Amino acid sequence: MKDAIASNYSLIYAVVAAIPKGEVATYGQVALLAGLPGRARQVGYALHALADPSLPWHRVVNAKGEISLRSGGSEGDRVQRLRLEAEGVVFDRCGRIDLERYRWRP
DNA sequence: CCCATGACTGATT
DNA sequence: TAATCAGCCATGG
């Protein structure tokens, strides 16, 4: 899977990198902006394959405004929340984000 | 080529 | 608000 940069992933990464600090975007949102409407799943797949710490992937959450847990039992989910809180994003008691308030609107 | 899996979404109940 | 169902498609075996 070395051809990741040769696929639409580049576009996905570009969109993720364009998310303003303190805001979040859903997978569907990223997919749409990346020119892949309805392919939210592939966006998640792309992020799963990603391993770039300089990319603000933590600003990408699912449609419910929750942190998507990934396989592997990584600590990523925990880090994601901490990073978002560090940017001013507030989680409710259920660990969810108010999308109406923090959702990125380009 | 076929099959199973997956950081998902949206409508419906 | 939460749970369920069906649809989406790239990736790997």
Residue A61: CATH number of its domain: 1.10.10.10
Q: Which residues touch strand B (CB under 7 A)?
A: A 26-28, 40-45, 47-48, 50, 57, 62-64, 68-71, 76-77, 80
Q: Which nucleotides of chain C have an atom under 7 angstroms from any protein CB? A: 1-2, 7-12
Q: Which nucleotide is nearest to A37 (CA to C1')?
A: C8
The pair of structure tokens assigned to A97 is 């984000």
How many Å does it take to go from CA A64 to C1' B4? 26
Confidence band, pLDDT 50/70/90 cuts, at residue A20? very high
The pair of structure tokens assigned to A79 is 């880090």
Q: What one-character-per-residue DSSP string does A23-39 give? A: -BEEHHHHHHHTT-TT-
Q: Which residue segment(s) compose the domain that A13 sits in?
A: 2-102
Residue linked to tokens 């070395």:
A2
C-alpha–C-alpha distance, residues A20 and A36, integer Å:
21
Number of domains making up chain A? 1
pLDDT on residue A88: 95
Confidence band, pLDDT 50/70/90 cuts, at residue A77? confident
C-alpha–C-alpha distance, residues A8 and A83, integer Å:
26
